[in-house]
Amino acid sequence: SQELEQSPQSLIVQEGKNLTINCTSSKTLYGLYWYKQKYGEGLIFLMMLQKGGEEKSHEKITAKLDEKKQQSSLHITASQPSHAGIYLCGADPTYSGGGADGLTFGKGTHLIIQP
C-alpha cells in the first residue's frame, strides 16, 4: 500500500516569513492533492498535481511535484495568520489520478503563525 510521509510534523513560523512543507511517497504519485484543515473543521481543497515537474499556485501558496513523481512540496510566501492550520497531502494509489477509489493521506503538518 502507498504511504505518505509529511515533514515537518509541526511548524511555527513568524508572520511574514516563507515556509515549505514536504510530502514524500513510498510509490509513484499519479495524483497528489493538497488540502488545508482548520482546527475542528473539514478539509479544504488547495491544489492537485499530476504531471512530473508540475507547479501550481494559488494566491501565496505554490505546490510542486518533482520529476520522479514521488515527492511534492508546498511553499507559502510571506505567511499570514490565515495560513495557520493543518496541511495534508493525499495521493491517489491508482493510475487514474482522479481519486475515484479513495485517497491515502499523510498525517499532516500543523502550521502555527506567530504575529
Q: Is 55 an interacting residue with respect to other proteins (CB under 8 A)? A: no
Q: Is 115 an interacting residue with respect to other proteins (CB under 8 A)? A: no
Q: How far apart are the first and last CA of the chain?
A: 40
φ, ψ of residue 106 to 5 degrees: the values are -75, 175
Q: Which of 6, 14, 78, 88 is nearest to 48 (CA)?
A: 88
Among 15, 41, 55, 67, binds other proteins (CB under 8 A): 41
Span 82-111, contacts to other proteins by CB under 8 A: 88, 90, 98-108
Among 21, 23, 33, 72, binds other proteins (CB under 8 A): 33
Residues 64, 112: Cα–Cα separation, whole Å: 22
Q: Is 2 an interacting residue with respect to other proteins (CB under 8 A)? A: no
Among 43, 70, 75, 94, binds other proteins (CB under 8 A): 43
1 versus 115: smaller Cβ distance to other proteins: 1
Cβ–Cβ under 8 Å, residues 70 and 28: yes
Q: Is 8 an interacting residue with respect to other proteins (CB under 8 A)? A: no
Cell output for 6: 509529511
Helix (H) or strand (E) holding 19, with range, is strand 19-25
Per CB under 8 A, residues contacting other proteins are: 33, 35, 40-45, 48, 88, 90, 98-108
